Amino acid sequence: MTVIVRDVRAEDAEGFARVRRASVPYMLATAEQLVFDWAHAHPDGHERPLVAVTEDGEIIGTVQQRIAHDAQEPGIGSVNVYVDPARQRLGAGAALLRAAEEHLAEQGARTLYSWVMDTPEDRAWAERRGYAPSRSAHFLRLDLTTAELPPLQEPPAGVELLPAEAFDADPRPIFELDAVTTADEPGDVGASLDDYAHWRESTWNHPLHDRALTTIAVVDGVPAAFSAAQTDGLGRYNSGMTGTAPAFRGRGLAKFAKNASLHRARAAGCVEAFTSNDAGNEPMLAINKWFGYEIGAVEVRHVRTIG
């Protein structure tokens, strides 16, 4: 069977999302989200989503690739290949990877990072193509229909839990909180968040971002911790990120925020909750275990030097 790799088109969004959901069911993916992401990609990221299609036009594989323009080091790119599990071994993954590597090299990438599911087959596939494992992360799942969430408690004196929508008029304080927590988030690629206009357009206004469920812990009027919530309209909820500003750590504020968000999510009709954690992020792993999350899958980040 002939497989064709081409640039994505707007009408490909549903097929693209379908492949993503089939390949990694622990990640939210909708057609609306993808069209938004493609339209709002940062120009310095040189993103170029591609699809692998059969002769009759069926989308069987996708690749997301970008230059990490916000990384502290230049020349870093990311490439993530997904192939429909029912349509593997047709050469789609290899063709997508080759096309993505060529594009990223042209844009100045010298180091490439790629997430690979932690199965013998997937890891061997990546290693045959020159990628070496660097670190791992866990996909976690919580069944909100049966979970016994920790009971809601009154926050400490001086602490107020607010939905993110309370900051709709001026979300800059939330941007500043996001930036300071992102700065020391575990990862191979250090990142700095300094473009408020782009953040507001691409993160705050993202179609998956649920500002009613995203919860902010405010201490004496200052946003101090948050639990970002994403929902897909299909009953699925994802913790986009949970973090606390350095000056407020050690007080359990992230727990308060996340617990409130999960309770709100269940009341809003969400039935599954997902999150992911770096394998070395023991504080967040402990928090998620406390909530009842269980490991659903493990993925391994691989790295390859191309120049």
pLDDT in tens, 187-221: 555 556 788 998 999 999 999 999 999 999 999 99
Residue 121 has pLDDT above 80, yes or no: yes
Looking up tokens 């013998």 gives 120
How far is residue 274's CA from residue 293's CA, in Å, rounded to a whole number?
Answer: 8
Region 183-187 average pLDDT: 62
Looking up tokens 């909708």 gives 30
**pLDDT for the residue 69:** 87
Tokens standing for residue 134? 């660097």
Task: Kindly give the pairing relationship between strand 111-117 and strand 76-83.
Answer: parallel
Would you tell me which CATH number, out of the four given (3.50.50.60, 3.40.630.30, 1.25.40.10, 3.40.50.720), belongs to the domain 142-298?
3.40.630.30
Phi, psi of 115 (to 5 degrees): -85, 135
- Which CATH fold would you assign to the domain 3-109? Aminopeptidase (3.40.630)
pTM: 0.88
How far lies 148's CA from each of 262, 277, 284, 292, in Å?
Answer: 11, 21, 19, 8
Domain with CATH 3.40.630.30 in the chain: 3-109, 142-298
* pLDDT tier, 186 (very low <50, low <70, confident <90, very high otherwise): low
Residues 6 or more apart whose CB falls under 8 angstroms from that of 304 comprise 111, 112, 114, 129, 130, 131, 132
Residue 23 has pLDDT above 90, yes or no: yes
**Separation of first and last alpha carbons in the chain:** 33
Q: What is the CB-side half-sphere exposure of residue 285 using CA atoms within 13 A?
A: 11
- Which percentage of the chain shows pLDDT scores above 90? 84
